């Protein structure tokens, strides 16, 4: 059996049609807030209802799936047609999804070859990695280890930056200390955050929303060439006013580019609540 089954989670930004075309299994992200459960992938829009709830009640968000049992079930089913699996998942620093996959894989040691790759990113970044891996596996010209090496080589060129206008979720997810959260709230701080090595790190802070938005634009303007860019926002009924402003200003510094916009997923919501805005940039490879 030489076929490699590619597996990912629901934050990977690929259409359901593209996932089918590449033969990718995508496990939905399952989030819980208070007494409600929300499911998200490219066919389930639970992230919209979750953000609506957070805008009203500001409840904590817990990522509860895909669980260990979910991964075990997928691995077991996959064994009917191949014993080789490549699992590319959202950053292990942002949710328990990576850990759950690794725990599940222990039960299959000796029965199959499961490679689990931490994408150190999310959303468009994860989608790009999964799509590239799927393309290379379908071409069948490279051994799986080389596919992994090439996909891993893309990770340092994926950038995810964001701002948020609330600090309580960053505190709950231990990205800010209690002192930082209290002082930040007192001073009305709007942090500029970057994902580095898969984790969310506060990079700069502004005392006005407009200044925080400027930080996003400054970051994008530092790139001379961008292969992919997408804006993520918290709007449940369409892009927020702030997201539309960001898009307009980005189009001024990046002319002739069609900039897509999406509502961000439950994993990001668990860290920045319902008041976030950001973008994913892929610098790509240039010859």
Phi and psi, residue 241, nearest 5°: -60, -40
Same domain, 141 and 33: yes
Specify the number of domains making up the chain: 2
Same domain, 62 and 110: yes
Q: Which residues contact 107 (CB under 8 A, 6 or more apart)?
A: 72, 75
The pLDDT of residue 287 is 42
Mean pLDDT by 10 residues, the chain (287 residues): 86 96 97 95 90 92 97 97 97 98 96 96 96 96 95 97 92 81 73 95 84 95 93 92 97 91 96 95 75
Burial class (CB in 10 A: 0-12, 13-18, 19+), 77: exposed
Scanning the structure block, which residue is given the tokens 């303007």? 221
CATH number at residue 95: 3.40.50.10170
128 near 159, Cβ under 8 Å?
no
Same domain, 12 and 142: yes
Kindly calculate the radius of gyration of the chain based on its CA atoms and give it in whole angstroms: 19
Query: How far apart (Å, rounded) are the C-alpha atoms in residues 31 and 40?
Result: 8
Same domain, 10 and 121: yes
The pLDDT of residue 268 is 96
Point out which residues pair with 205 in neighbouring strands. 191
Tokens of 178: 């209690």
Query: Residue 43's closest CA among 56, 62, 24, 67?
Result: 24
Same domain, 16 and 56: yes
**Domain assignment present for 287:** no
The pLDDT of residue 205 is 80
The pLDDT of residue 182 is 66
Same domain, 130 and 24: yes
Same domain, 72 and 12: yes
Point out which residues pair with 231 in neighbouring strands. 261, 279
Cα first-last separation, the chain:
36
Q: What's 109's DSSP letter?
A: B
Pick from 155, 179, 206: which residue ends a domain? 155
SS3 of 93, please? coil
Query: How far apart (Å, rounded) are the C-alpha atoms in residues 133 and 125?
Result: 13
What's the pTM value of the predicted model, to 2 decimals?
0.94
Pick from 155, 176, 204: which residue ends a domain? 155
**Domain assignment present for 277:** yes
Scanning the structure block, which residue is given the tokens 């006005």? 208
Same domain, 141 and 188: no
Other beta carbons less than 10 A from residue 266's beta carbon: 27
Same domain, 255 and 125: no
Pick from 133, 155, 177: which residue ends a domain? 155
**Domain assignment present for 124:** yes
What's the domain range around 179?
Answer: 157-282
Query: Residue 232's closest CA among 220, 210, 221, 247?
Result: 247
Same domain, 144 and 213: no
């Amino acid at each position: 059996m030489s076929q490699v089954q590619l597996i990912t989670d629901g934050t990977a930004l690929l259409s359901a049609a593209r996932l089918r075309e590449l033969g990718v299994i995508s496990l939905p992200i399952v989030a819980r807030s208070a007494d409600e459960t929300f499911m998200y992938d490219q066919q389930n829009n639970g992230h919209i209802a979750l953000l609506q709830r957070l805008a009203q009640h500001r409840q904590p968000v817990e990522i509860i799936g895909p669980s260990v049992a979910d991964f075990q079930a997928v691995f077991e089913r996959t064994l009917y047609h191949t014993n080789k699996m490549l699992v590319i998942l959202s950053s292990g620093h942002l949710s328990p999804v990576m850990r759950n996959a690794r725990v599940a894989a222990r039960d299959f040691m000796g029965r199959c070859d499961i490679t689990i790759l931490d994408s150190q990113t999310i959303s468009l970044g994860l989608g790009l990695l999964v799509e590239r891996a799927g393309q290379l596996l379908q071409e069948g010209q490279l051994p799986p280890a080389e596919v992994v090496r090439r996909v891993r080589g893309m990770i340092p060129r994926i950038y995810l930056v964001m701002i948020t206008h609330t600090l309580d979720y960053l505190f709950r997810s231990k990205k800010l200390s209690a002192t930082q959260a209290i002082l930040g709230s007192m001073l009305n701080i709007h942090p500029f955050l970057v994902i580095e090595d898969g984790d969310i790190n506060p990079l700069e802070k502004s005392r006005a929303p407009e200044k925080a938005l400027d930080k996003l634009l400054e970051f994008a303007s530092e790139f001379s060439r961008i292969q992919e860019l997408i804006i993520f926002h918290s709007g449940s009924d369409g892009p927020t006013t702030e997201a539309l402003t960001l898009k307009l200003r980005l189009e001024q510094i990046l002319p002739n580019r069609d900039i897509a916009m999406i509502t961000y997923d439950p994993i990001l919501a668990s860290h920045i609540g319902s008041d976030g805005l950001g973008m994913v940039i892929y610098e790509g490879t240039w010859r």
